[in-house]
């Protein structure tokens, strides 16, 4: 997935054949893992695999297997109930809309952070990570307090007839909040690497600044914009804590899909809850895969 | 070459900067400020009162217990994962990285759901464990498992890029000079990765203490027994006890601020940015 840049860097810590005599790993080392001077592959690989299986893989396998207790028709019926479809539509559309709003927001913030210097810039940089560090329940109640009819922002919007808290608009606000850092942090390294020569060349050829932005800069940022959009969307679809306080949670109107999973669990409808979880996961992965392909295609075209 | 076309005009730059600051303040700073102003609505006395509540104290204790179990376990595994992934090349290495990062792309609610599917009343193992008198869901073990799932990736994904960047040369030198594998790890690797490790543990801990969705699903909301701090925030908020809710929320916000401060300090120290929060 494209939204985890940190570990995508692969630097080759190649093996040193001259130190081959130092290999003390058991027989597994050699045919499975490339010969290395360092010991400890088998125990560390074993711990990782064991803990990963116990904590992540076995539980997730329950999510994949349990829906089918309902049978194929039952699963279909379970995920196409009107209330479920309304919740899925709401979750995916508000997440997509929030990610779309974060495109200009993220672009503006990332551009200013990379290209300009201004007092308080370091503080601003830390602030961008705030939605990632702040527990979602805390964000949820404080956004609700802000946008409630008597809140600081809600009180300004209320006379204009705009209700944010306890409506789908509130969900949108919460998802813009949690999604923003994904967009900014995906764009920043790409803006940093933009070759200034391209902008200079365009300027030499007589292009105006706005032409350069539109024809040179934005196309180069398009893959990163898509990646940021995908990351913000994926986060938004599953988001729970920051949303449920501000959403109002009216069935068919402002009830998000994750909440419906919780409701089904409370009714002991485990298979139904698992079916909904699985469909959410599959649709999210499908969208991410599509965006990934699109992104790759654009990068290839530009190369 | 016209200088003007490679840069925005002075006026545009000023306007964009002001717009950025405005956006950051409105969207990101204001929610943080509200937490503290709401907590102080009834003055310091209200906060002291809210923190003296037995349920609040129980929630803080439980949060510390859950973090104290899940964070060390994930730290040991994260270091082990970083060692085998950053220092060796083997088939399925890419897949292993993807699987380790999987919890990051799963909804928090699903991270709790999977444990209920296993150990809940209608779960695969639930009835059998029930006969043995073992409770996992709606009890502390469930909270720990859900938290462990959510925080699984943090240490590994902070360490892997760092260790790959550092390379294995120093460790190989230590081995050549006769150090044992364990000595090499303790005397060479650990000092090299200590700041990154600290950062990874900090992120893992922040998420462990602040997690809401996953623990909300497995908790059962038993007051004073299975309520972590974020769950207590929810309960108080829904009871219209805003001062109480925002007081505990304020503690969690302070933890978030501390995490961000340490992140800034470490980035300044290491001299490069780390994307591990995402």
pLDDT by residue (tens digit) across B161-187? 889 888 888 989 998 898 888 889 999
> Does residue A27 share a domain with residue A76?
no
**pLDDT score at B274:** 53
Structural domain of A227 = 71-302
Distance from CA of A63 to the nearest CA of B (A): 6
- In the numeric block, the tokens 């979880």 are attached to A277
Q: Does residue A89 sit in the same domain as residue A203?
A: yes
Predicted local distance difference test score (pLDDT) of residue B253: 96
In this complex, do A32 and B86 lie within 8 Å of one another by their Cβ atoms? no
Which of chain B's residues have a Cβ under 8 Å away from the Cβ of A199? 5-6
Q: Is the pLDDT of residue A22 over 50?
A: no
B29 within domain boundaries:
no
Average pLDDT over residues A19-33: 52
- Domain extent, residue B133, equals 42-270
- Encoding tokens for residue A197? 């020569």
The span from the CA of A234 to the CA of A211, in Å, is: 33
Question: What pLDDT band is residue A23 in, cutting at 50, 70 and 90?
Answer: very low
Measuring CA to CA, how many Å separate A241 from each of A127, A143, A258, B97? 20, 11, 10, 27
* Cβ–Cβ gap A231/B278 under 8 Å: yes
Distance from CA of A303 to the nearest CA of B (A): 23
Shared domain for A79 and A159, answered yes or no, is: yes
Q: Are residues A56 and A80 in the same domain?
A: no
Domain shared by A150 and A185, yes or no: yes
| Nearest Cα residue in chain A from B102 | A56
pLDDT reading at A211 higher than 60: yes
pLDDT tens per residue across span B11-36? 889 999 999 999 999 999 999 999 99
- Residue of chain A whose alpha carbon sits nearest to that of B267: A126
CATH code of A277's domain: 1.10.3720.10
- Does residue B32 belong to any structural domain of this protein? no
**Do A45 and A190 have their domain in common?**
no
- Structure letter (DSSP) for residue B139: S
Model pLDDT for residues A224-245, shown as the tens digit of each residue: 999 999 999 999 999 999 999 9
- Among A28, A40, A128, A286, most B C-beta atoms within 10 A, so best to mutate, is A40
What are B57-98's pLDDT values in tens digits?
999 999 999 999 999 999 999 999 999 999 998 898 989 998
**Which residues does chain A have within 8 Å of residue B103's beta carbon, measured at their own beta carbons?**
56
A59 falls within a domain: yes
Instruction: List pLDDT tens digits, range B223-251.
Output: 888 999 999 999 999 999 999 999 999 99
Q: Could B30 and A153 be called an inter-chain contact, meaning their C-beta atoms sit closer than 8 Å?
A: yes
Q: In terms of domains, do A42 and A94 share one?
A: no
> With contacts defined as CB-CB under 8 Å, which chain B residues touch A18?
none
Q: Do the Cβ atoms of A155 and B127 come closer than 8 Å?
A: no
CA angle A280, A285, A286 (to 5 degrees): 100
SS3 of B106, please?
coil
Say yes or no for a CB contact (<8 Å) between B212 and A265.
no
Average pLDDT, chain A: 86
Residues of A in contact with B110 (CB under 8 A): 63, 238, 258, 261, 277, 280-281
Q: Which residue of B has its CA nearest to A55?
A: B149
Number of domains making up chain A: 2
Question: B36 in a domain, yes or no?
Answer: no
Residue B165 has a pLDDT of: 87
Taking an 8 Å cut-off on Cβ atoms, the answer to whether A142 and B87 are in contact is no
Contact yes or no for A133 and B256 at CB 8 A: yes
Contacts of B35 in chain A (CB under 8 A): 138, 142
Question: A4 pLDDT exceeds 90?
Answer: no
Q: Which residues of A touch B209 (CB under 8 A)?
A: 135
pLDDT of B137 above 60: yes
Q: Which residue of B has its CA nearest to A237?
A: B107
Q: Give the span between the Cα atoms of B22 and B37, in whole angstroms.
A: 20
Task: Pick B213's closest partner by Cβ from A131, A241, A268.
Answer: A241
Which of A47, A67, A87 terminates a domain? The answer is A67
- Cα torsion at A277, A281, A284, A289 (round to 10°)? -170
User: Cβ separation of B109 and A116 shorter than 8 Å?
Assistant: no
Q: Which chain B residue has its CA at the smallest distance from A118's CA?
A: B17
Nearest residue of B to residue A59, measured between CA atoms: B114
Give A38→chain B minimum CA distance, Å. 7
Q: Does A14 reside within a domain? A: no
Q: Which residue from A34, A60, A241 is facing B212, i.e. has the nearest CB? A: A241
User: Which of A50-54, A135-139, B121-125 has the weakest average pLDDT?
Assistant: B121-125
Q: Which residues of A touch B171 (CB under 8 A)?
A: 38
Asked if B76 lies within 8 A of A47 by C-beta distance, the reply is yes
Which pLDDT does position A197 carry in this prediction?
Answer: 85
* Interface contacts (A, B; CB < 8 Å): 358
Question: Is residue A3, in this structure, part of any structural domain at all?
Answer: no
User: B10 in a domain, yes or no?
Assistant: no
Contacts of A118 in chain B (CB under 8 A): 17, 21
Residue A147 within a domain:
yes
Say if B28 falls within a structural domain: no
**Residue in A133, A194, A237 to test binding to B, most B beta-carbons within 10 Å:** A133
- Interface contact flag, A138 B253, Cβ < 8 Å: yes
What's the gap in Å between the CA of A301 and the closest CA on chain B?
25
Is residue B271 predicted with pLDDT exceeding 70? Answer: no
Flag whether B227 is in a domain: yes
Interface test with A, best of B73, B213, B230, B253 (most A CBs within 10 A): B213
Mean pLDDT (whole number) for A163-183: 94
Contact B185 A40 (CB under 8 A): yes
8 Å CB contact of B88 and A208: no
CATH code assigned at B48: 1.10.3720.10
Bridge partners (DSSP) of residue A33 are A29
Instruction: State how far the Cα of A20 lies from the Cα of A200, in Å rounded to an integer.
Output: 51
pLDDT of residue B266: 82
With pLDDT > 90 as the criterion, what percentage of chain A qualifies?
Answer: 57
Res. A14 pLDDT band, cuts 50 70 90: very low
Residue A13 is assigned to a structural domain of this protein: no
The answer to the question of residue A115 being in a domain is yes
pLDDT at position A21 is: 42
Count of CB atoms situated within 10 Å of the CB of A18: 10
Q: Which of A3, A10, A238 sits opposite B164 (nearest CB)?
A: A10
**Which of the residues B15, B17, B79, B163 would you substitute to probe the A interface, choosing the one with the greatest number of A C-beta atoms within 10 Å?**
B17
Question: Collapsing DSSP states into helix, strand and coil, what is residue B62?
Answer: helix
The three-state DSSP-derived secondary structure of chain A is CCCCHHHHCCCCCCCCHHHHHHCCCCCHHHHCECCCCCCCHHHHHHHHHHHHHHHHHHHHHHHHHHHHHHHHHHHHHHHCCHHHHHHHHHHHHHHHHHHHHHHHHHHHHHHHHHHCCCCCHHHHHHHHCHHHHCCHHHHHHHHHHHHCCCCCCHHHHHHHCCCCCCCHHHHHHHHHHHHHHHHHHHHHHHHHHCCHHHHHHHHHCCCCHHHHHHHHHHHHHHHHHHHHHHHHHHHHHHCCHHHHHHHCCCCCCCCCHHHHHHHHHHCCCHHHHHHHHHHHHHHHHHHHHHHHHHHHHHHHHHC
pLDDT of residue A39: 85
What pLDDT sits at residue B276?
53
Q: Is the pLDDT of residue A16 over 60?
A: no
Q: Which of B254, B274, B277 is nearest to B266 (CA)?
A: B274
- pLDDT bin (cut points 50, 70, 90) of residue A45 is very high
* Residue the block writes with tokens 């803080």: B60
User: What is the per-residue pLDDT across B180-209, written as a single tens digit (0 to 9) for each?
Assistant: 888 899 999 999 898 889 989 999 999 999
Distance from CA of A152 to the nearest CA of B (A): 9
Nearest-neighbour CA in chain B from A115: distance (Å): 9
ipTM: 0.90
- Structural domain contains residue A11: no
Residues A36 and A126 in one domain: no
* In a domain? residue A280: yes
Domain shared by A213 and A149, yes or no: yes
User: Is B109 a domain residue?
Assistant: yes
Number of domains in chain B: 1
How far is Cα B35 from Cα A272, in angstroms, rounded to an integer? 37
């Amino acid at each position: 997935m494209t939204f985890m840049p940190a570990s995508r860097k692969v630097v080759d810590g190649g093996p040193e054949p001259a130190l081959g005599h130092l290999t003390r790993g058991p027989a597994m080392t050699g045919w499975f893992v490339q010969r290395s001077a360092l010991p400890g592959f088998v125990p560390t690989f074993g711990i990782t695999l064991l803990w990963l299986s116990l904590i992540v893989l076995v539980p997730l396998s329950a999510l994949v297997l349990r829906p089918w207790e309902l049978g194929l028709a039952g699963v279909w019926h379970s995920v196409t109930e009107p209330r479920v479809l309304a919740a899925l539509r709401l979750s995916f559309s508000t997440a997509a809309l929030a990610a779309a709003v974060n495109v200009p927001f993220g672009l503006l913030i990332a551009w200013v952070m990379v290209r300009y210097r201004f007092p308080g810039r370091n503080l601003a940089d830390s602030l961008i990570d705030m939605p990632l560090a702040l527990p979602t329940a805390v964000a949820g109640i404080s956004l609700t307090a802000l946008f409630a009819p008597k809140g600081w922002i809600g009180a300004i919007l209320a006379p204009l007839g705009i209700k944010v808290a306890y409506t789908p608009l509130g969900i949108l606000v919460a998802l813009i909040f949690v999604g923003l850092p994904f967009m900014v942090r995906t764009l920043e390294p790409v803006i940093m690497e933009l070759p200034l020569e391209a902008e200079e060349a365009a300027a030499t050829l007589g292009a105006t600044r706005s032409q350069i932005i539109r024809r040179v800069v934005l196309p180069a940022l398009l893959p990163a914009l898509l990646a940021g959009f995908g990351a913000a969307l994926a986060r938004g679809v599953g988001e729970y804590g920051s949303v449920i306080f501000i959403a109002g949670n009216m069935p068919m109107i402002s009830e998000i899909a994750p909440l419906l999973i919780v409701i089904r669990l409370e009714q002991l409808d485990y298979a139904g809850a698992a079916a909904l979880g699985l469909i959410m996961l599959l649709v999210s992965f499908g969208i991410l895969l599509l965006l990934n392909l699109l992104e790759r295609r654009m990068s290839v075209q530009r190369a | 070459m016209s200088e003007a076309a490679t840069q925005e005009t002075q006026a545009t730059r000023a306007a964009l900067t002001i717009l950025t600051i405005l956006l950051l303040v409105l969207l990101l700073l204001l929610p943080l400020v509200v937490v503290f102003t709401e907590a102080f609505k009834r003055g310091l006395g209200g906060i002291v009162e809210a923190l003296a509540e037995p349920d609040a104290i129980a929630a803080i204790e439980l949060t510390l217990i859950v973090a104290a179990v899940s964070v060390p376990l994930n730290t040991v595994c994260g270091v082990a994962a970083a060692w085998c992934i950053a220092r060796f090349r083997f088939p399925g290495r890419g897949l292993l990285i993807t699987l380790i990062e999987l919890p990051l792309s799963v909804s928090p609610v699903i991270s709790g759901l999977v444990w209920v599917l296993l150990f809940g009343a209608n779960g695969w193992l639930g009835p059998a464990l029930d006969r043995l008198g073992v409770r996992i869901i709606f009890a502390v073990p469930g909270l720990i498992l859900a938290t462990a799932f959510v925080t699984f990736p943090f240490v590994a994904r902070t360490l892997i890029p760092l260790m790959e960047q550092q390379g294995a040369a120093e460790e190989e030198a230590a081995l050549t000079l006769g150090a044992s594998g364990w000595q090499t790890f303790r005397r060479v690797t650990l000092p090299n990765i200590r700041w990154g490790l600290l950062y990874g543990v900090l992120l893992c801990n922040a998420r462990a203490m602040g997690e809401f969705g996953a623990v909300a699903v497995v908790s059962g909301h038993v007051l004073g027994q299975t309520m972590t701090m974020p769950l207590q925030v929810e309960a108080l908020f829904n009871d219209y006890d805003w001062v109480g809710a925002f007081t505990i929320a304020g503690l969690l916000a302070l933890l978030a601020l501390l995490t961000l401060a340490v992140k800034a300090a470490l980035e300044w120290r290491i001299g490069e940015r780390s994307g591990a929060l995402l």
